[in-house]
Amino acid sequence: MRVSYNWLKEYVDLTDITPQELAERMTRSGIEVDAIESRNTGVSNVVVGYVKEREQHPDADRLSVCKVDVGNGEDLQIVCGAKNVAAGQKVPIAMIGAVLPGDFKIKKSKLRGVESQGMICSAKELGLNDKLLAKDQQEGIMVLPEDAEIGMDAVSYLGMDDYVLELGLTPNRADAMSMIGVAYEVAAILGREVIFPEMNVVENGEANPVRVTIEAKDHCYQYAGRHFTNVKIGSSPQWLKNRLMAANVRPINNVVDVTNYVMLELGLPLHAFDASQVVDKEIIVRLAQEGEKITTLDDQERTLDDQTLLITDKTKGVAIAGIMGGANSEVTDETTEIILEAAYFTQQTVRRSARKTGIRSEAGTRWEKGVDQARVKLACDRAALLIQQLSGATVSVGVADDTVQVKQPLAIDITLEKINEHLGTSIDAATVTAIYTRLQFQVEEKGAGAWTITVPTRRGDITLVEDLIEEVARLYGYDNIPITLPFGETTPGRLQPEQLLRRIVRHHLIGLGLNETVSYALLHPERMENFDSMIDANLKRISLIMPLSEEHSVLRTNLIASLVETATYNKNRQNHDLGFFELGNVFLTEEDQLTKLPEQRLYLGGLIAGQWVPQNWTGAKQPADFFLTKGVVESVLDRIGLKATELTYQPTQTRKGMHPGRTADVLVGGNVVGFIGQIHPQQEKAYDLDETYVFQFDLSKLFSHAKDFNDYKPLPKFPAITRDFALVVDRSLPVAALEEIIRRESGDLLESVTLFDVYTGERIDAAKKSVAFSMVYRHPEHTLQDEEVQAVTTRVVEALKEAGAELRS
């Protein structure tokens, strides 16, 4: 809503209140002023002039030399390049010394040898928005109406000595979508009166011949029609145009302008029909038939459904209620007889029609937010008065009115105690009464500190006692509410166990040197499915009905796709050495069309590429590889209490987008909880990446295996004995199998086993590898004897030999 400060002054006394102060006070009491705009964008010393004579420039075909009266007794000679300049016009004259927008200073000059003592201005040169100008003022110099007084300051004549307050209205404050509504608010803030505009129209014609019937009684509560004859369509006076333009409404003609003006003034959208096109002057308000067609004012043929409210005569639709008039009954320059509609359509009905037709307008917006039925009669009369004044029309006697129901004001009981309890204040009863009185709510005292408040229908947002409390709070001032903290039962603040584990994982990975990322959950379907590692083939893609772009159109089922894109983004910016992790939800469903919420699972994903150890003087290097990645994973799993012995790494060839020889599923207790591996070289190429390693875990699965710290053991009292084995085995034999044998055969005496060497090369058979383990044996209750260890290691060696291992000396 755009509010002209000068216009507002007609409805409430703004003495001593600058536009800036007004904006501040409105904002602090609930209606936010987004911007204060000066209507004058830098014009000074421009006056209304009268073109007495116009002659052709002697040396230039396109220039005119004009003699202009600017009301100071001396005629000015001005050279003008506009085609439309003519003797007898009133026009804006930028005098010598004038300034136009863009800091354009007017000086005495010669044009093709002829002196020019100023400039005749176009509307655009004055900084007026030409999209809002009436058609006759858009081209060439701006021709002003007859009534413009010669010598008068054009800034004031064109309403440019004004400010517009741009209100950022919240959806509840539909009441402030009119000048009078804003006046009520401002009057309440300032404690001043609301001044109503003149409404008394003198009915000087015949009896009103219009008949109105509402058939769709659920959609239209009231329809009032006024009738006018002897209408003379013409241009509106400048003051009216100025006000419309301040509100960003384009002037059309006097009748249409009045309907718009009264809509802005009183908040009720109006419509004018050419009465000669309404058969028998009979208005019927009904729902359209399915498929019924109407051509609207914008010359679009529209096909309606049976829920669209239509204004009709006996034979045809003449307007889509609340949305737009029909072309068939449009007010034109030839129109002499009109029917003026003032009605109350329901919010939902117009909202639905607006959505269906896609027509957005000032009127539609008001209907959708809700208008006040009490304004129907006021608006009808106010518009009649203005039409009479501006077009010389004769107003027929009476209003054709069909009223189905009338919205009644709401009475709400409230107590002082309730107000103060809710706000934490100690406001007194007199203050409360004063606030409601200033709002012009009806206050009925029901004993000490108890009232019945009757809320006018214009404030449809107030339906509950809490709404009334807010009115007190905002006018009393939020600044005056005290500062306290909740009192009562104390509660222990805490993280849930899973939230704590998530933090531990996050902090641990950061400690290891990875950077945390956050990426979008909406992805491109193909790029997401490149790494769709969904184990269950039944899982389905979840797509938005109406995405903004394909780029962000499906919900992620994995974190790898985002991590890989992040890697590409970085590599394209010369960031080659990368270590990322992300904690984020993925969304899984087996349904083609969701009937219930998808499963939301918290995943951990990670990515490592380039050099892990940055280039440095020691020469130490650590390029990203499978085992570095696995080391990171083992470290974080260890941190949440998952021992290496509980984990199984199983090679897999089926993970989508992954290297078939360098990828492993990670299992706990026989269940897959995640995987680690290298991105498939083809995908690395597609994403323009070098060797890139990733991991991904389902944290809800992992966390169910996490352990609290509760396995403390006293320090050992007896020494340990260490034994090393070097074994030669087939290259293809997994080391985990050997370790498994060592553990199994060693029994309880084994404290730890560590793989400390793996060798392949010249010194042994090409099909073999050498691996070396170091075992630590210890007995909890006595010092181990060599013989005891010997017995164990003999068993171990036997079992290893059976598995094909050969013991090296």
> Of 71-110, which residues contact other proteins (CB under 8 A)?
none
By CB under 8 A, residue 710 contacts other proteins: no
Please name the helix (run of DSSP H) or strand (run of DSSP E) that holds residue 258, with its range, or none: helix 254-266
Looking at residue 528, the DSSP 8-state letter turns out to be: H
* 227 residue type, one letter: H
Distance CA 506, CA 606 (A): 11
> Per-residue string for binding with other proteins, 168-207, x by CB under 8 A?
--xxxx----------------------------------
Q: Which stretch binds other proteins (CB under 8 A): 185-193, 438-446, 469-477, 706-714?
A: 469-477
Among 145, 234, 392, 513, binds other proteins (CB under 8 A): 513
By CB under 8 A, residue 482 contacts other proteins: yes
Q: 800 vs 362, 746, 752, 763, CA distance in Å?
A: 87, 12, 17, 21
Q: Which stretch binds other proteins (CB under 8 A): 609-617, 646-654, 664-672, 736-744?
A: 609-617
By CB under 8 A, residue 627 contacts other proteins: no
Are β-strands 317-320 and 324-325 bridged in parallel, bridged antiparallel, or unpaired?
antiparallel
By CB under 8 A, residue 506 contacts other proteins: yes
Q: Which stretch binds other proteins (CB under 8 A): 211-219, 383-391, 510-518, 658-666?
A: 510-518
Q: Between residues 358 and 492, which has the closer beta carbon with respect to other proteins?
A: 492
By CB under 8 A, residue 696 contacts other proteins: no
Neighbours of 28 (CB within 10 A): 15
Q: Between residues 281 and 369, which has the closer beta carbon with respect to other proteins?
A: 369
By CB under 8 A, residue 148 contacts other proteins: no
Distance CA 5, CA 75 (A): 36
> Of 634-693, which residues contact other proteins (CB under 8 A)?
none
Among 430, 448, 537, 620, binds other proteins (CB under 8 A): 620
Each as own residue / partner, the long-range contacts of residues 801-809 (CB below 8 Å, 24 or more positions apart, any chain) are: 803/729, 803/733, 803/737, 803/738, 803/741, 804/729, 804/730, 804/733, 805/727, 805/728, 805/729, 805/733, 805/738, 806/727, 806/728, 806/729, 807/725, 807/726, 807/727, 808/726, 808/727, 808/728, 808/770
DSSP code per residue over 579-625: EEEEEEEEEE-S-SS-SSPPEEEEEEEEEEESBSSPP-TT----B--
By CB under 8 A, residue 489 contacts other proteins: yes
Considering the complex, what minimum distance in angstroms separates the CB of residue 358 from other proteins?
A: 15
Q: How many residues bind other proteins (CB under 8 A)?
A: 96
What's the distance, Cα to Cα, between the start and end of the chain in Å? 92
* 470 residue type, one letter: E
Dihedral (Cα; 371, 376, 379, 385), 10-degree rounding: 170
Considering the complex, what minimum distance in angstroms separates the CB of residue 288 from other proteins?
A: 20
Q: Between residues 486 and 719, which has the closer beta carbon with respect to other proteins?
A: 486
Helices (H), 139-200: 154-157, 179-190
Among 101, 409, 456, 598, binds other proteins (CB under 8 A): 598
By CB under 8 A, residue 379 contacts other proteins: no
Contact in structure between 534 and 567 (CB atoms under 8 Å):
no
> Of 519-578, which residues contact other proteins (CB under 8 A)?
519-522, 542-548, 552, 555, 566, 569-570, 573, 575, 578
Looking at residue 361, the DSSP 8-state letter turns out to be: -
Q: Which stretch binds other proteins (CB under 8 A): 133-141, 290-298, 430-438, 477-485?
A: 477-485
Residues in a beta bridge with 116: 109
By CB under 8 A, residue 619 contacts other proteins: no
Q: Between residues 358 and 719, which has the closer beta carbon with respect to other proteins?
A: 358
Q: Which stretch binds other proteins (CB under 8 A): 282-290, 335-343, 462-470, 711-719?
A: 462-470
By CB under 8 A, residue 488 contacts other proteins: yes
Dihedral (Cα; 477, 480, 486, 487), 10-degree rounding: -130
Considering the complex, what minimum distance in angstroms separates the CB of residue 300 from other proteins?
A: 24
Considering the complex, what minimum distance in angstroms separates the CB of residue 3 from other proteins?
A: 18
Considering the complex, what minimum distance in angstroms separates the CB of residue 28 from other proteins?
A: 6
Considering the complex, what minimum distance in angstroms separates the CB of residue 696 from other proteins?
A: 17
By CB under 8 A, residue 52 contacts other proteins: no
Among 109, 295, 361, 515, binds other proteins (CB under 8 A): 515
- The pair of three-digit structure tokens given for residue 597, joined into one six-digit string: 């919420």
Contact in structure between 323 and 353 (CB atoms under 8 Å):
yes
By CB under 8 A, residue 417 contacts other proteins: no
Q: How many residues does the chain have?
A: 809
Looking at residue 30, the DSSP 8-state letter turns out to be: T
Tell me, rounded to whole angstroms, the distance of Cα 182 from its chain centroid: 26
Distance CA 175, CA 500 (A): 49
> Per-residue string for binding with other proteins, 317-346, x by CB under 8 A?
------------------------------
Contact in structure between 280 and 297 (CB atoms under 8 Å):
no
Q: Between residues 333 and 479, which has the closer beta carbon with respect to other proteins?
A: 479
DSSP code per residue over 371-415: --TTHHHHHHHHHHHHHHHHH-PEEPBS-EEEES--PPPEEEEEE
Q: Which stretch binds other proteins (CB under 8 A): 29-37, 203-211, 230-238, 672-680?
A: 29-37
Among 247, 514, 694, 775, binds other proteins (CB under 8 A): 514
Q: Between residues 537 and 548, which has the closer beta carbon with respect to other proteins?
A: 548
> Of 384-403, which residues contact other proteins (CB under 8 A)?
none
Q: Between residues 200 and 496, which has the closer beta carbon with respect to other proteins?
A: 496
Distance CA 791, CA 798 (A): 11
Considering the complex, what minimum distance in angstroms separates the CB of residue 686 from other proteins?
A: 20
Cβ-in-10-Å burial (0-12, 13-18, 19+) of 61 comes to exposed
- Secondary structure (3-state) at 660: strand
Residues in a beta bridge with 76: 68
Distance CA 642, CA 502 (A): 15
Q: Which stretch binds other proteins (CB under 8 A): 81-89, 131-139, 231-239, 593-601?
A: 593-601
φ, ψ dihedrals at 445, nearest 5°: -80, 135
Q: Between residues 342 and 514, which has the closer beta carbon with respect to other proteins?
A: 514
Contact in structure between 302 and 320 (CB atoms under 8 Å):
yes
Q: Which stretch binds other proteins (CB under 8 A): 45-53, 57-65, 275-283, 482-490?
A: 482-490
Q: Between residues 411 and 510, which has the closer beta carbon with respect to other proteins?
A: 510
Q: Which stretch binds other proteins (CB under 8 A): 117-125, 244-252, 363-371, 710-718?
A: 363-371
Q: Which of 430, 510, 520 minimizes the C-alpha distance to 476?
A: 430
Among 74, 103, 202, 617, binds other proteins (CB under 8 A): 617
- The pair of three-digit structure tokens given for residue 606, joined into one six-digit string: 């990670």
> Per-residue string for binding with other proteins, 420-439, x by CB under 8 A?
-xxxxx--------------
Distance CA 229, CA 234 (A): 15
- The pair of three-digit structure tokens given for residue 677, joined into one six-digit string: 């591996």
Considering the complex, what minimum distance in angstroms separates the CB of residue 314 from other proteins?
A: 32
Among 511, 660, 661, 669, binds other proteins (CB under 8 A): 511
> Of 256-285, which residues contact other proteins (CB under 8 A)?
none
Question: Which residues of 409-488 form beta strands (DSSP E)?
Answer: 410-415, 442-445, 450-455
